Amino acid sequence: MITHYPDTSFLCSIYRKQEFTPAALRFRRQMNEPLHFTSLLEFEFRQAIELQVWLNSKDKKKGYSRDEADRMIADWESDVALGLNRLLPYDMDAVLRLSLVYSNQRTAYGGHRTLDIFHVATAIHLGATHFLTFDGRQCTLAQHAGLNVPV
């Protein structure tokens, strides 16, 4: 059983200095468990990093460099190897079924994106009680699903 489950906005705030980094790091230091993740969350996080590299290659004022991306990935992999971040197995079919329920209930009213719904559904599926996000719409969805959003 886990207590907290993050989304990509929380992970990005941990691994790259940005607006919510101080809050994310403060919360992370207070956690009494590893930062749990699934293969889907890791994919979205790493995809977001690669997209920033592509944006930077097109316009140096956007995104960030390959070197910065490589540092983020290395820090992530180090935290996984140290057990600070822990990969959890999950039933993707169950998550997709629950995602459809949330989509039917909330997307027409809240404009929720597919992966945002997946992450909230994954948190519920894994038994989390808290959802870590800095995304306002995702916060609303998580609260609708009965999760506490402490950051």
Q: Domain residues for 53?
A: 4-144
Cα–Cα distance for residue pair 90/95, rounded to 1 Å: 8
Residue at 151 is within a domain:
no
Residue at 36 is within a domain:
yes
Lowest mean pLDDT among 19-23, 40-44, 107-111: 107-111
Residue at 134 is within a domain:
yes
Q: What is the total count of domains within the chain?
A: 1
On the question of pLDDT at 1 being above 80, the answer is no
Residue at 149 is within a domain:
no
Mean pLDDT, the chain, integer: 96
Burial of 128 (0-12, 13-18, 19+ CB in 10 A): buried
The CATH number of residue 113's host domain is 3.40.50.1010
Quick check: pTM over 0.85? Answer: yes
On whether the CB atoms of residues 52 and 15 are closer than 8 A, the answer is no
